[in-house]
A and B are shown apart, each in its own frame.
Chain A
Amino acid sequence: MSQVSLSREEAIIGQLKARFPEAIEETKIDRARRVTIHFEKDHVQEIAMFMRDELGFDHVKGVAGVDLPTQKKIEVLYFAGSYSNAEVQDFIVILKAQLPRDNPIIASVVSVWESAHFHERETFEMFGVKFEGHPDLRKLLTLDNWEGPPPMLKDIKFPEMGQR
């Protein structure tokens, strides 16, 4: 079985590391066309602008939150994709930032990637992550009068759903 060449993935990682040597913490190539990059949360807007303008990733497919209660962190994931650049059109680059669980605040990327508008609203209401600079941050999917805690956190259990 010949090894699939991962040169395009390594090129992307090389360019990001050269431009942001201190902000990129860890990189991983999961398989062909999937690159995971852990970065420091304060540089999110610069990294997003670099990816949009230099590498051609012009939209996000989604913004997800993952609750890690054992490490006391909430991770925010950005799934970046490209329509314009034919070389990286089949890539999904997953950018991950870790936020402290008791005060999760990160700058919003809506001014760079407009496609993140509704995704950031959903992550705000489901995990409690505040996106600074979002023009319209309010609840999206839950009830208008929902006063409770963010529903997707792991310690919020709804007894009707059964045991985990």
Chain B
Amino acid sequence: MTTNRVLAFVALVLAAGAMVVGRPSTTPPGHIDVDRLAAMIAHEDDHVTAVELGTWLRDGKPGLRVIDVRPKADFDEYHLPHAENVPLPSIGKASFRPDETLVLYSDGGAHAAQAWVMLRSLGFTNVYFLRGGLGEWLDDVMTPMLPTDATPAEREAFRKIADLSTYFGGTPGVGPRPPASSTSEKVKAMRRRGC
């Protein structure tokens, strides 16, 4: 048997095996690999920060889709730039491609994190959620604050965040962080500013 015939035979056997097993993944759709997800959560590979997401949006990360899992009324009131509204109840019916990078967000982090688990169970691996939700976006990107007693390293880091903030029409400031207010109040404040 010549080398070509041996190689052809090996390719045919591997291809026939591929047809038998069907999918190039051991995890069937709808199955959750609990150990793997737990390890990802422990390594904090499951989420992105608001600044990371802002950088991806600004730099036009290929295949990025930002998904707002809140109800439509909340989405219409305020949402992140380029975000799409897929309310949580319809997340299983949404059309996502495996090679897309999906970033989910909600008001806090809980609903987006739950949607993350659902999409992972459907076999999507390039999925993240915004850790602190819309509140983190408003705090860290739209109204970042540089403490008055900041170190030079903190000032340098803040300069980049301030650039990012300005890009999205935010208002970086200097001073003590204002008292925490609820997300809905911040949203209303953003709307008053015309964002």
On whether the two chains bind one another, the answer is: no
